[in-house]
A = this chain, B = another copy of it.
């Protein structure tokens, strides 16, 4: 099967970037199968993503990175080149609400998510059977107030051991410690069960019910130190009415959460999400 290099760049905008980068690729015979650019006029920052057919280039990813480095330096780029044969390693974290976990595992089985699932970590033991049925290691790390630091030290160690480069909080109802957020900045994806910035924090569907909103939502975002305030990747909504109880909102919400998290994670895994301050550029 064909594999691809994904070249992702962010740099100060100036004349000629596209010409130089595309010229570089063409100069090596590279066939670009997908190209996206964005110039942010407010900040003067430029973003691009190229998907290049690997076999069209006469070199491997390492060699390509080396060849590209001088150009990257010249334009002061923040950049990465990702070979699609090197599949990302994802750790899924979950608490009692399991719909997102079940949904992601199904999508992964169906080939919708291009990654390895390195482990499932939970503060409960309920989903061990399902994880192991998928041949995925399951780690039960209870989190109780008295031993939180130890628990998260264990979580961090488990993530280290798996060599994961992405952590998905698939309705994991514990707050990660700031140090962990910082260490994995831009690699931890959360699904929040409200249309942020409305109803941050606990029990958002009950907050929504109390406020009498006519649409509920879910938000997929990168985790930062400040709770529910990180860069938003994707959001969606579901219509509700006076007929619906908080339980109905929770039920509708499950579907929105599943869909939003699955889209956000897929885009992240395909290098389509570029962080820009506290916002994202998403080349969906």
Binding site for B on A (CB under 8 A): 15-16, 18-20, 22-23, 25-27, 29-35, 37-42, 56, 99, 102, 106, 110, 112, 133, 195-199, 211-215, 217, 231-237, 241-243, 245, 251, 254-255, 259, 276, 278-282, 284
Contacts and interface: CB of A to CB of B under 8 A. Distances in A.
Given A15-B26, A15-B31, A38-B242, A195 B215 contact: yes
B237 A215 contact: yes
A195 to B, nearest CB: 7
Interface of A is mostly: mixed
B15 A18 contact: no
Contacts of A236: 215
Contact of A213 (B196, B241, B276): B196
A282 B242 contact: yes
Contacts of A110: 99, 254
B215 A281 contact: no
7 contacts: A15-B26, A18-B18, A19-B23, A33-B41, A110-B254, A112-B251, A214-B234
B41 A245 contact: yes
A280 B15 contact: no
A25 to B, nearest CB: 7
B106 A102 contact: yes
Contact of A282 (B241, B259, B284): B241
Nearest to A106: B102
A276 B279 CA distance: 35
Nearest to A235: B214
A48 to B, nearest CB: 9
